[in-house]
Structure 1
Amino acid sequence: MSDRRISLLFVDQDAIFRLGLATILSNYPQWEIVSQTDNLTDALTQLSSNTVDLITLDPNLRGQTLTVEAFYQQIKEISPETKICLLSYALSWQQQQDFREIGIEGYCHKGEFIDVLLENWQKIIEGEIVWPVISSSQLSEFNQTISKKNWLSKVRKSGIEEINKNLQLINKNLKNYPSSTWDKIFWQGRKRELLTARWLVEQLLPVDVIVVASPRINSQIMKTNNLSSIGTLVATGEWLNLFQETNDKLENNLKNLTNFLLEIDILKSEKKREILELVLKQFERIISDFKFIETKSMQISRNRLSVLERLWRESALIFLSKYCLNEKQISLEDMEILVEENEELVSKEILQEIPCFPELFDYIILDNELETKESNQANLSPEKKKETILHNVVIQVANGIVALILNYFSNNEKVKKNLYNIDMASSREIAKFRNRLAWEYRKKEYWQEPKNIFESQYRLFFFTEKGIDCTFVYYPRQQELESLRGLRWAVTILLEIRDAIAPLLRSLVGTVGTTLVYILTQVIGRAIGLVGKGILQGIGNSLSERDYPSKPKKQNSKS
């Protein structure tokens, strides 16, 4: 390799991945990202004023007016020496062949190690064609490998099913049959062993080989089929157990046990479980992207909100495409535009309000430990706090997806039939539910949230065996308190006035109460008692004289 700096143009709609790659390439001085963008039209505009050696391009771009083929042709007219390399998670064999026939010089998987990635890019710049190739002599061996993997996948499936059966029995024993402390410790240890065994089976044995026909949608659906099989880079250890334990808790009852209304309450129980599992699995996949980057850059940690926005966007697109897509009324492209147009609103109203996510993100990505704080209701250990924060993130992101459905598909009969509880499927009940939600939003904004800020706490929803519950955890919020204005500020003043006069009122009420008791019992009570006693004595004397008349006097006899 020469010492000349190599210039890159990076085209990808995933802002987090672009940022991560730019960060890690900063450690390689020979490579320079001249520009980066999320659409092909802007990439052409930037190339009119800049010359680059290589364009890395994710072909699965949404909402593009320019095709990859048209983009390639225009690039070659502007700068014939510029090479193009596709950089994506999954391209089918047919798709690879189609792009190669266009003339694109190479394709690399996003999961490649950075050194392998740079080596392939260097080969493309030097004029080589870098594509995964299976020659005719290797085709027979390839088919044998597929057969072997399919056989192993059956073993994998059978093993996981057996492990899951044992886990269910252990969970049932721990839940329904109280035993001694030593028995509980034994069964909990057995449960951890089975969870570890299941993870090893999922990682070491292959899944079924699947031919992808529609790459953009199917690649998204494939990514949600397994919690751990997709992201082998999602590593090992405590945080993986955190995700797995959360996934296990989604098998329990998901009834809302709190006094707060949730958007997901309108869903059928099985659909509620499905959307929560979807969000959890998408979150796991996004984390696997960051684990691939393997950087502790603080620049990445500042983009935590982008992680939540990406999580909501991808989960919403998958869920809506499954239940709300109607080719006659709304196409996939329209659905994507709808999600993108509402991303900012959902981010402002819901995602930005999700508490403690930065701490969870830093724990998972940057290996920072969470501080132990006391909640108002219970003492939360670091492990319990991580789990509670993760549960709340999953619930709130799912709420954001359902909010979009309620705003745009609330009266769609197909949606109502597939998603809503039967007792909430009428137009009247849906309107009542939406009005209650609107009231909850106003109450939270103007009363509950100022109160929580003043009391230095956050409300977190979490999963239990009986349903969804909530708790309050301590968190310093002095800066937010100082920035309150208007009605929200007035709420804190009212709370402070109440706290100030409450002891005086209690003392005053106590004094008045004691005085009243004394007057009623010692003064009025005694007076009434004396009067009553006199009346009773008079009545008694009257009765005595009437019932027992005096004896007649004896006359003295004369002698």
Structure 2
Amino acid sequence: MQNSLNQVNRNLSFVKLIYKENSKGLIKKLLIAGRQRELNKARLFLIWLFDSLGFSDSPVKFNNVSSYLYLPSINLDLNDNTCQKAWYRIRKRLETVFMNDIMNDTGYLLAIDALNYERRRDLLLALLSQLDIVIKQLYRDKIHGEKINYFWYQLQPELRRTVLEKMAGADVEISKNGELKSVAGVLIKNCKWEDDRELPPPQAILGPLAQGQPILIEGYLLSLDDHRAALQIEALVSNWLIRTAELIGAEVLSECSQWPELRCYLLRRDLMVTRNLERLRNQLNTQEWWNLYFDRPIRLYESKRLVWRIQRTSVIPYYITEARDKELEDLPWWQQLITFVLETRDAIAPQLQLLFQRIGNIIVIILTQIVGKAIGLIVRGILQGMGRSFTRDQD
């Protein structure tokens, strides 16, 4: 399937080149344009067939530059159906994954792992449902450009409140200090919402899905009808879902620490024990502190963004390379010292390597040319002395 798609892409590139060279002949232009339409239809059919067979398990790799050598010309003015169909496929796949539960293969502790299966499923499905509402509203209201970011940030408090109500249950009440309290009401009141600094700008997700903006991958602008662009958007969507669920999960753990009766309803059975719960919270806080103050400056300096991506039924880490110089400049001075240490190491390492190599060469010369010859002369003198003594004894 991939070979067929590459062949169609090569033919499209060739036809495009011929079209430019024969720009004056009307009949030739019409014939070439017809051929180009046929190839575009064949390409769309292959992509549709590929998706229908299950595009989530595609062998295409994002960092495989060879797969991008023959990209066709892309129509950046996508029709509405392309965006809607791409989002529909992504949403349905994620819904299926969340219904069957997810596994943590990130190598990190996740706060959502502390929730029981029902609450974790309801939380992720509620986030996905709210994202679907936002995308449809953006599409309906024709919001573009920087207005997308403003619109998104304005919606965040209401979005999280709605998600908490769906996850905890709007009518569920549990005893607290001898008095029945609404679980959703208490959580909404006591939660201190913070933003995850590793989340990309919302326009990176909402622009392609709501307005059909092209996606830049490995130096190429790809539209959503391209399989690689769909996978990239799915990775960004799953990253937002997992990271936002993490923020909510951390607040839920904090509230459960103060409200023991709530643990039976929201958390796993083993976390009903206070010691286990506090140990997990301390581990999560330590991990977050180390990630924020040490790992994040290194990722900014290396122009990497850590993304939580869903592969089949597992959450895995995935790094996207992108320019993050503005975020690097906004770091406080003591965090920039970490990047300065890395820069110093990169600058000094070649000189130190050369210095140690020269020192090693000098040591080799000293050992072979000076010490070795001296030892040889000493041994020769000893042997000659022993030979003379042996001759005298014989006499």
TM-score range, shorter chain: 0.5 to 0.7
* Percent identity of paired positions between Structure 1 and Structure 2: 24
Q: Which residue of 1 aligns with 2:205?
A: 360
Residue 468 of structure 1 aligns to a residue in which SS? Answer: strand
When normalised by structure 1's length, the TM-score is 0.47
Q: Which residue of 2 aligns with 1:400?
A: 247
Residue 103 of structure 2 aligns to a residue in which SS? Answer: coil
The answer as to 2:185 corresponding to 1:336 is yes
Any residues of structure 2 matched to 1:122-137 within 5 Å, and which?
none
The code of the aligned residue for 1:383 comes to A
Q: Which residue of 1 aligns with 2:13?
A: none
CA distance in 1, matches of 2:171, 2:305: 33
How far is 1:388 from its partner? 1.0
Extract unaligned runs of 5+ from structure 1. 1-184, 193-232, 375-379, 545-549, 551-559
Residue 371 of structure 1 aligns to a residue in which SS? Answer: strand
- For each residue in 1:77-132, what CA deviation from the matched residue of structure 2 results, as whole angstroms up to 9, or x when unmatched? xxxxxxxxxxxxxxxxxxxxxxxxxxxxxxxxxxxxxxxxxxxxxxxxxxxxxxxx
Question: RMSD between aligned alpha carbons?
Answer: 4.1
CA distance in 2, matches of 1:291, 1:319: 27
The code of the aligned residue for 2:349 comes to A
Among 234, 238, 246, the alignment partner of 2:86 is: 238
Asked if the contact 1:391/1:461 (under 8 Å) is kept, the reply is yes
The answer as to 2:335 corresponding to 1:485 is no
Among 247, 256, 277, the alignment partner of 1:409 is: 256
Asked if the contact 2:297/2:336 (under 8 Å) is kept, the reply is yes
CA distance in 2, matches of 1:502, 1:404: 44
Q: Which residue of 1 aligns with 2:135?
A: 287
CA distance in 2, matches of 1:533, 1:321: 95
Asked if the contact 1:301/1:362 (under 8 Å) is kept, the reply is no
CA distance in 2, matches of 1:286, 1:297: 15
- For each residue in 1:321-361, what CA deviation from the matched residue of structure 2 results, as whole angstroms up to 9, or x when unmatched? 379841554533x743641553xx42x343x6422432101
The answer as to 2:355 corresponding to 1:508 is yes
CA distance in 2, matches of 1:381, 1:418: 41
Asked if the contact 1:416/1:425 (under 8 Å) is kept, the reply is yes
The structure-2 alpha-carbon separation of the partners of 1:524 and 1:188, relative to structure 1 and needing over 3 Å to count, comes to: farther
How far is 1:439 from its partner? 1.8
Asked if the contact 1:234/1:291 (under 8 Å) is kept, the reply is no
Asked if the contact 2:205/2:233 (under 8 Å) is kept, the reply is yes
The answer as to 2:164 corresponding to 1:316 is yes
Q: Which residue of 1 aligns with 2:307?
A: 460
Asked if the contact 1:324/1:415 (under 8 Å) is kept, the reply is no
Residue 391 of structure 1 aligns to a residue in which SS? Answer: helix
Any residues of structure 2 matched to 1:149-188 within 5 Å, and which?
none
CA distance in 1, matches of 2:82, 2:370: 80
How far is 1:408 from its partner? 1.0
Asked if the contact 2:300/2:328 (under 8 Å) is kept, the reply is yes
How far is 1:460 from its partner? 0.7
The structure-2 alpha-carbon separation of the partners of 1:425 and 1:337, relative to structure 1 and needing over 3 Å to count, comes to: closer
CA distance in 1, matches of 2:314, 2:272: 22
Asked if the contact 2:205/2:236 (under 8 Å) is kept, the reply is yes
CA distance in 1, matches of 2:103, 2:281: 19
CA distance in 1, matches of 2:118, 2:312: 16
The structure-2 alpha-carbon separation of the partners of 1:503 and 1:412, relative to structure 1 and needing over 3 Å to count, comes to: same
How far is 1:241 from its partner? 1.0
- For each residue in 1:483-512, what CA deviation from the matched residue of structure 2 results, as whole angstroms up to 9, or x when unmatched? 332312222222222222122122223333
CA distance in 1, matches of 2:319, 2:333: 25
The code of the aligned residue for 1:336 comes to G
The structure-2 alpha-carbon separation of the partners of 1:187 and 1:390, relative to structure 1 and needing over 3 Å to count, comes to: closer
Q: Which residue of 1 aligns with 2:115?
A: 267
How far is 1:528 from its partner? 6.3
The structure-2 alpha-carbon separation of the partners of 1:297 and 1:482, relative to structure 1 and needing over 3 Å to count, comes to: closer
Aligned length: 313
How far is 1:249 from its partner? 3.7
Residue 473 of structure 1 aligns to a residue in which SS? Answer: strand
CA distance in 2, matches of 1:530, 1:404: 79
The answer as to 2:150 corresponding to 1:302 is yes
The structure-2 alpha-carbon separation of the partners of 1:187 and 1:295, relative to structure 1 and needing over 3 Å to count, comes to: closer
The structure-2 alpha-carbon separation of the partners of 1:534 and 1:335, relative to structure 1 and needing over 3 Å to count, comes to: farther
Among 432, 440, 452, the alignment partner of 2:279 is: 432
Asked if the contact 1:461/1:470 (under 8 Å) is kept, the reply is yes
Q: Which residue of 2 aligns with 1:473?
A: 320
Instruction: Decide which structure has the larger Cα Rg and report it.
Output: 1
Asked if the contact 2:164/2:184 (under 8 Å) is kept, the reply is no
How far is 1:524 from its partner? 5.0
Q: Which residue of 2 aligns with 1:126?
A: none
Asked if the contact 1:276/1:394 (under 8 Å) is kept, the reply is yes
Residue 396 of structure 1 aligns to a residue in which SS? Answer: helix
Asked if the contact 1:357/1:389 (under 8 Å) is kept, the reply is no
The structure-2 alpha-carbon separation of the partners of 1:390 and 1:529, relative to structure 1 and needing over 3 Å to count, comes to: farther
How far is 1:481 from its partner? 2.5
The structure-2 alpha-carbon separation of the partners of 1:371 and 1:189, relative to structure 1 and needing over 3 Å to count, comes to: same
The code of the aligned residue for 1:276 comes to L
Q: Which residue of 1 aligns with 2:36?
A: none
Extract unaligned runs of 5+ from structure 2. 1-47, 56-80, 220-226
- For each residue in 1:176-233, what CA deviation from the matched residue of structure 2 results, as whole angstroms up to 9, or x when unmatched? xxxxxxxxx97864458xxxxxxxxxxxxxxxxxxxxxxxxxxxxxxxxxxxxxxxx9
Residue 470 of structure 1 aligns to a residue in which SS? Answer: strand
How far is 1:423 from its partner? 4.9
Which fold has the larger relative contact order, with Cα–Cα distance below 8 Å and residues 6 or more apart in sequence?
2
The code of the aligned residue for 1:248 comes to T
The code of the aligned residue for 1:362 comes to G
CA distance in 2, matches of 1:340, 1:461: 29
Q: Which residue of 2 aligns with 1:163?
A: none
